[in-house]
Structure 1
Amino acid sequence: MVHEELSARLNEVGYKNWLKAGYCLLKLKDGLHGYINNEMKSFHGIIISSNDVLQRQQQCRNNCRPNGNHLHSLCWLCEEWKREILRHHTNRTGVVNWGNCKPWLWPSQHWELAKAYMPRGQANITGADQCDAAALLNLISFCDHFSFIDQRQVREVIRQRNELMHSSEMRVSAQWMLQYQKSLDRLLQQLQHVPEVAAARREIKEMLSVDWTICVPGADSVDGPEWTGLEPTLVSQVEAELLREKLQELLLYTEAQSPVGLHAKDLSELRKLQVFLQGQRDLEEQFHTELQRVQLLESQLQQAVIQDRGELQN
């Protein structure tokens, strides 16, 4: 049966909690992206109207672009935009992911401005609706336009999100879930006046109260109620989206390492996820392309080890 493997995975309470917590992140994103997009349009306009240089509405003619994660030799206009971005950054001594940005578009596209306050990996993202919850939460945290939101609560949800997505076992306890639910609710309550956020808050409460065990006709019974009101297809889609986000994040980090600097520890969490996916017939088929990228990284590591041994022998 199509969902037999999923049904068996959901019989593990810790993994089921991991999926439910991840679903909350998806709903958080759904609730926030429209609001944040409108706020960044407003922020973009505020920067232009409050800067005499940018008020001229000129465009970059040099097609200025980052070199990796660095910005060098910018034209005077992009340099002015860079100064404004840093002026509104809440962590001015921290790393800014300039590699996310297309500086020549800063005068005309508000979302290119937003990406300077986000984690790496946003270069090809063109709107808030394409971002995951982590990217939107980091924007709220690092852009002072959102200083009216309690930043302690934003950072707490970011911390819990990172714990969730960096869990090598992909399992969380009932106690962890309880604290997570409280943190999410406190954050969303601040934006209760936004209809999409209010709707997301209600859906999160509803879904966290539901047992995600599913019943597959003809399959062996599993612990818990036979029917939860959730379609197996919905749970499967949530699982695939979360696993893909986790896998892409690990790949992005690992591929950013040079082959020479790549170490076995850099691949340890990625390998655990690889073993999990390869051990599930349905997931192995879905993630075939990504698993090939993992194998390529392993091959690069092996080649680097062989090269190091050769140099030592010489």
Structure 2
Amino acid sequence: MVLSELAARLNCAEYKNWVKAGHCLLLLRSCLQGFVGREVLSFHRGLLAEAPGLSPSATCRGGSRCSPRARQVIKCRNEIMHSSEMKVSSTWLRDFQIKIQNFLNEFRNIPEIVAVYSRIEQLLTSDWAVHIPEEDQRDGYEGETGSYLSASQVNEVKIELLKEELEEMYLQAEEQEMLPEEISNRLEVMKEFLRNNEDLRNGLREDMQKLDSLHPPNPKRDSKEPGRETPERKD
């Protein structure tokens, strides 16, 4: 049942594009975390060296700055995370490929980026066949630039993307950055998707319960109209 559900989803090219783009973003995040952490630590140490009296707990009030290329990648990431259908077109994916490659070119001197650059490029340009052991044939084909992912690898990518989306929704709900109705609508879309995909539902049960704790179902409205009493029944 699980494999048949996965195979059905992977028959949709737009869904596969969505997972490919999400996989690229996860790879990008993993390779940037170490670099960003080192840069922030170095910057903080530089501030303390220039201002010895500055408290270690001091905060900067300057606005955050992102390069135009970084903003483009962030925009793509938001489109991926907020895609209710979890699908993107091939045209969107080609545009995403250009934007992410332009962004990566700014960091070609960073070892972590160099290590993952070829993986991201191959993923975006390959036919990206998916091997399902119990099936008679593989989804897609393996050409010169082709690569295979196992069913479990696809599910791992998908679950990680959905976990990130649910965590974002939880933080937005907790900080009241979104209207309760909007959060509820997005949560209902997610629930509907998971109801139709058992292979993903079990891996996200705790995350869904955590979000539900902030947005419990609305109580049923009383059938009585406000200010009016139900007339007594006469025998």
TM interval, shorter chain, is 0.7 to 0.9
Asked if 1 retains the 8 angstrom alpha-carbon contact of 2:27 and 2:120, the reply is yes
Alpha-carbon displacement from aligned partner over 1:1-57 (angstroms, at most 9, x marks no partner): 653322221111111111100111111112212211211121011111122422xxx
Alpha-carbon displacement from aligned partner over 1:225-251 (angstroms, at most 9, x marks no partner): 389422222222111111111122122
Structure 1 residues 2 and 170: CA distance shift in structure 2, 3 A: closer
* Pair 1:254-2:173 in alignment: yes
Normalised TM-score (structure 2): 0.82
Alpha-carbon displacement from aligned partner over 1:54-92 (angstroms, at most 9, x marks no partner): 2xxx66xxxxxxxxxxxxxxxxxx4xx13xx11xx2x2x
**Post-superposition shift, 1:311?**
11
Asked if 2 retains the 8 angstrom alpha-carbon contact of 1:10 and 1:212, the reply is no
Asked if 2 retains the 8 angstrom alpha-carbon contact of 1:28 and 1:200, the reply is yes
Structure 1 residues 46 and 222: CA distance shift in structure 2, 3 A: same
Q: Tell me how large the CA RMSD over aligned residues is.
A: 3.0
SS state of the match for residue 214, structure 1?
A: strand
Counterpart selection for 1:174 from 74, 90, 97: 90
Asked if 2 retains the 8 angstrom alpha-carbon contact of 1:15 and 1:172, the reply is yes
Counterpart selection for 1:236 from 155, 163, 173: 155
Counterpart selection for 2:122 from 201, 206, 209: 206
Alpha-carbon displacement from aligned partner over 1:190-248 (angstroms, at most 9, x marks no partner): 11011111122111001112233424233375763389422222222111111111122
Asked if 2 retains the 8 angstrom alpha-carbon contact of 1:17 and 1:177, the reply is yes
Other-structure match for 2:40: 40
Structure 1 residues 16 and 45: CA distance shift in structure 2, 3 A: same
Structure 1 residues 222 and 311: CA distance shift in structure 2, 3 A: farther
Structure 1 residues 212 and 8: CA distance shift in structure 2, 3 A: farther
Tell me how far apart the structure 1 counterparts of residues 10 and 148 of structure 2 sit (CA, whole Å). 15
Asked if 2 retains the 8 angstrom alpha-carbon contact of 1:15 and 1:171, the reply is yes
SS state of the match for residue 173, structure 2?
A: helix
Structure 1 residues 285 and 220: CA distance shift in structure 2, 3 A: farther
Identity %: 34
Structure 1 residues 223 and 197: CA distance shift in structure 2, 3 A: closer
Alpha-carbon displacement from aligned partner over 1:81-114 (angstroms, at most 9, x marks no partner): 13xx11xx2x2xxxxxxxxxxxxxxxxxxxxxxx
Amino acid at match of 1:244: K
Within-5 A mapping of 1:96-111? none
The structure with the larger Rg is 2
Asked if 2 retains the 8 angstrom alpha-carbon contact of 1:7 and 1:215, the reply is no
Amino acid at match of 2:199: D
Give the unaligned 5+ runs of structure 1.
60-77, 92-141, 144-149
Other-structure match for 1:164: 80
Normalised TM-score (structure 1): 0.63
Other-structure match for 1:153: 69
SS state of the match for residue 168, structure 1?
A: coil
Amino acid at match of 1:48: L
Asked if 1 retains the 8 angstrom alpha-carbon contact of 2:3 and 2:132, the reply is yes
Other-structure match for 2:135: 219
Give the unaligned 5+ runs of structure 2.
229-235
Other-structure match for 2:185: 268
